[in-house]
Amino acid sequence: MIHQWATDRGFCNTVLTLYELANGDDTVGQEFYNLDPATLRRSLEVLQSQGRAQLFVGSSDDDTGVKIFP
């Protein structure tokens, strides 16, 4: 669902923070809006293992970034 959202909204190949994904204006109404950061991170790790995303580790979940590939 996150990958589809990024594709539909034109966010592929753009680095987004986990905070932006879970709390951003662009994600209001999405199933992952207000999702627990640890759960969101695990979901993105699955996308990364599939070669569909790259995580960029920050000092906290809020400033960890992700780039989603088309």
The alpha carbon of 63 is separated from its chain's Cα centroid by a whole number of angstroms, namely 11
The alpha carbon of 45 is separated from its chain's Cα centroid by a whole number of angstroms, namely 10
Confidence of residue 58 (pLDDT cuts 50, 70, 90): confident
Segments of the chain assigned E as strands: 15-17, 53-56, 65-68
66: which strand partners?
A: 16, 55
pLDDT digits (tens, 9 = 90+) for 5-29: 999 999 999 999 999 999 999 999 9
56: which strand partners?
A: 65
